[in-house]
């Protein structure tokens, strides 16, 4: 990994106003968890909605979309990508550096609040499971959205369609769609690592979820690298 590019990416990403969009979501998650925990309802009644559907199903992918589509997408928009492409740095190193930064930022802003919410809702085991499941999901999501930012001029719009229609609608009615749902991978891994509690409702095996998540990361990284190689110094694909 190229540490110089990673450092520049982190400073640029954390210095943009877009990063402020990430702050209300962790606060919302923890706040709703505290309110639900103070109610008479049992955790297995509200936790699947707050932690699963909201935390892993909405907050995690939206955060990854904002971050993953920004680490290269904004540079393509404003033309600063040409400065990176002009340097004798392998395109694979650029992609890996961008991906690591996007993954780290997404993980910190989602896994930490999910871990806190898990502890509040049930136990430390659930908190650890949610944090690790979110970390794996963050890597798969950011690889997917990073590749999408190099494949389309409207990665955020396409990403929102994938999140809302595929991951939060189709998977409810079409069981086969779950095999291509990063949300389901995160949920399954979180449930398995937490000890298969009744708080989370997973639908895949832990091994299947881990393999498919790794496949998303590998394919997303490969596509992003190939697309970046096709960029000319004008910032357009050839």
Per-residue model confidence as pLDDT tens digits over 78-100: 666 777 777 778 889 999 999 99
Residues 6 or more apart whose Cβ sits within 8 Å of residue 52:
187, 200, 201
- pLDDT per position as a tens digit, 85-140: 777 788 899 999 999 999 999 999 999 999 999 999 988 899 999 999 999 999 99
43 in a domain, yes or no?
Answer: yes
- Residue at 237 is within a domain: no
Burial 190-218 (b: 16+ CB within 10 A, else e): bbbbbeebebbebebeeeebbebbeebbe
Cα–Cα dist 228/180, whole Å? 25
Its pTM stands at: 0.90
Do the domain assignments include residue 212? yes
The DSSP annotation for 163-211 comes to IIIIIIIIHHH-GGGGGG-HHHHHHHHHHHHTTS-SSS---S-HHHHHH
Question: Do the domain assignments include residue 158?
Answer: yes
When divided into structural domains, the chain yields a total of 1
Instruction: Look up residue 23 and give its two tokens.
Output: 């702050």
Residue length, the chain? 238
Residues in the chain with pLDDT < 70? 1, 16, 18, 74, 77-80, 196, 232-238
Beta carbons within 8 Å of 215's beta carbon, 6+ residues apart: none
Q: Provide φ and ψ at 193, rounded to 5°.
A: -70, -25
Residue 234 domain flag = no
Q: Which domain holds residue 118?
A: 3-229
Instruction: Give a yes or no: residue 236 inside a domain.
Output: no
Taking 3-state DSSP, the helix, strand and coil percentages for the chain, each rounded to the nearest 5, stand at 80, 0, 20
pLDDT computed for residue 80 by the predictor? 67
Q: Which residues have C-beta within 8 Å of that of residue 49, sequence separation ≥ 6?
A: none
Of the CA atoms within 13 Å of residue 5, those in its CB half-sphere come to 25
Is 238 within a domain?
no
Beta strand ranges found along the chain (DSSP E):
none
The distance in angstroms from the start CA to the end CA of the chain is 26
């Amino acid at each position: 990994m190229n540490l110089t590019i990673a450092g520049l990416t982190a400073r640029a990403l954390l210095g943009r106003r877009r990063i402020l969009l990430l702050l209300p979501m962790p606060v919302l998650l923890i706040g709703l968890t505290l309110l639900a925990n103070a109610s008479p309802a049992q955790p297995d009644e509200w936790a699947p909605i707050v932690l699963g559907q909201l935390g892993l199903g909405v907050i995690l992918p939206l955060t990854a979309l904002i971050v993953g589509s920004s680490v290269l997408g904004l540079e393509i928009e404003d033309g600063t990508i040409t400065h990176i492409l002009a340097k004798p740095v392998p395109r694979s190193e650029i992609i890996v550096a961008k991906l690591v930064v996007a993954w780290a930022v997404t993980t910190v802003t989602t896994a930490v609040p999910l871990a806190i919410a898990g502890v509040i809702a049930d136990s430390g085991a659930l908190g650890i499971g949610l944090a690790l499941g979110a970390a794996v999901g963050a890597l798969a999501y950011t690889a997917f959205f990073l590749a999408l930012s190099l494949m389309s001029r409207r990665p955020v719009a396409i990403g929102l369609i994938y999140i809302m229609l595929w991951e939060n609608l189709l998977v409810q009615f079409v069981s086969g769609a779950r095999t291509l749902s990063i949300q389901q991978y995160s949920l399954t891994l979180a449930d398995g690592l937490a000890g298969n509690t009744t708080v989370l409702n997973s639908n895949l095996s832990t091994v299947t979820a881990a393999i498919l998540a790794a496949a998303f990361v590998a394919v997303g990284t490969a596509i992003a690298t190939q697309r970046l190689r096709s960029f000319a110094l004008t910032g357009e694909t050839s």
